[in-house]
């Protein structure tokens, strides 16, 4: 994992209005060459007591109230040896929570080791949770796909299809009906730690659409901010394909087959909707979104219909035998 530098981490935090409430205690030391490789952190209590087996030195080190108190006791005795041993490991950064500032002995040792030292006013648990959330996107497995990503009735739908099949036109119709665009043409998909896949706008391309014959349009200006959003969970993949009589038997006519498409290793429901003259794509996509929501609530129209048909046939057979 490549990771990010401490400087990049601090920049991300600043862009989020300093959500981690951080202050630097060691200036610019180590900001460019120390790397955060994980959203997981380590509490170095056992290391301070001299036990370094399985010490997760490559993680951010969190000094909560217990660790801070012990550091204070060691500092009063001017015992730098414990700190020198700690910083002999390649620690990316140390963070003291609860607004506790360590003694000068600890700070000087950290400076000597070129290891950044930060302090936050947040409690340890709050800081760790916010840190994980803040960097989740940075460490998420990512891919970029061609298509349109739109929120239809709360369902995140990736619309795919060959060039000119009607993706943009269908999307414009959906936006005019009150649905929300996330990204057009180039969709960034990320797999989060909980296994969910989210689609995001790409930097510099947010909320712009290319419409043949018109050009580039800014949906956030045309439809207002209520017509766009920055990210959404991917719930459904819809592929638009040109209608072919030869492939007519391949199109799902009952909905009994739950077809999936693997996206970043996650199985996402998939539909192939054939396109031909007279079919209103936006209405079809809306219907697909509504049907997907029904399935999420435990009702499957196709299976219910199939159940009723079987019951009707069995009843007819019983009546004929009576």
Active-site amino acid positions: 146, 167, 185, 253
DSSP per-residue letters across 72-133: HHHHHTT--HHHHHHTTS----EEE-TTPPPPHHHHHHHHHTT--EEEESS-HHHHHHHHHH
Taking the C-alpha atoms of residue 224 and residue 247, their distance in angstroms, rounded to an integer, is 40
* CB-CB neighbours of 153 under 10 Å: 15
Strands 4-5 and 35-36: antiparallel
Ranges of beta strands (E only) in the chain are 4-5, 22-24, 35-36, 41-42, 60-63, 94-96, 117-120, 141-152, 155-161, 180-191, 197-200, 208-211, 215-218, 231-233, 236-242, 260-263, 266-275
Using left for φ > 0, alpha for ψ between -120 and 50, and beta otherwise, residue 99 falls in left
11 Cβ contact partners less than 8 Å away, ≥ 6 residues apart: none
Q: How many Cα neighbours within 13 Å face the side chain of 78?
A: 0
**What b/e readout covers 81-92, taking b as 16+ CB neighbours within 10 angstroms?**
ebbeebbebebb
Buried/exposed code over 275-296 (b: 16+ C-beta within 10 A; e: otherwise): beeeeebbebbbebbebbbebe
Cα distance between residue 223 and residue 2, in whole Å = 39
For residue 157, CA distances in Å to 63, 209, 235 come to: 43, 16, 6
């Amino acid at each position: 994992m490549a990771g990010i530098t401490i400087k990049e981490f601090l920049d991300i935090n600043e862009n989020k209005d300093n959500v981690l409430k951080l202050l630097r205690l060691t200036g610019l030391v180590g900001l460019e060459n120390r790397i955060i490789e994980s959203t997981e952190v380590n509490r170095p209590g056992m290391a301070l007591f001299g036990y370094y087996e399985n010490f997760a030195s490559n993680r951010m080190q969190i000094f909560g109230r217990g660790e801070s108190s012990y550091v204070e006791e060691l500092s009063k005795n001017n015992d730098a040896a414990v700190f020198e041993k700690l910083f002999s490991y390649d620690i990316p950064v140390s963070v003291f929570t609860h607004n506790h500032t360590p003694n000068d002995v600890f700070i000087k040792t950290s400076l000597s080791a070129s290891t950044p030292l930060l302090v936050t006013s947040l409690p340890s648990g709050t800081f760790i949770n916010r840190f994980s959330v803040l960097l989740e996107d940075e460490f998420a497995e990512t891919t970029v796909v061609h298509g349109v990503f739109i929120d239809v009735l709360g369902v995140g739908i990736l619309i795919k299809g060959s060039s000119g099949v009607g993706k943009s036109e269908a999307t414009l119709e959906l936006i005019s009906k009150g649905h929300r665009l996330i990204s057009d043409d180039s969709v960034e998909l990320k797999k989060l730690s909980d296994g969910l896949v989210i689609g995001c706008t790409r930097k510099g391309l947010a909320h712009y659409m290319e419409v043949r014959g018109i050009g580039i349009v800014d949906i956030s200006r045309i439809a207002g901010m209520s017509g766009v959003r920055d990210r959404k969970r991917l719930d459904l993949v819809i592929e638009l394909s040109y209608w072919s009589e030869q492939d007519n038997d391949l199109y799902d006519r009952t909905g009994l087959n739950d077809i999936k498409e693997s996206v970043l290793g996650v199985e996402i429901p998939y539909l192939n909707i054939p396109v031909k003259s007279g079919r209103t794509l936006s209405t079809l996509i809306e219907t697909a979104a509504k049907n997907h929501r029904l399935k999420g609530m435990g009702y499957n129209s196709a299976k219910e219909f199939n159940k009723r048909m079987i019951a009707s046939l069995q009843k007819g057979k019983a009546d004929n035998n009576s």
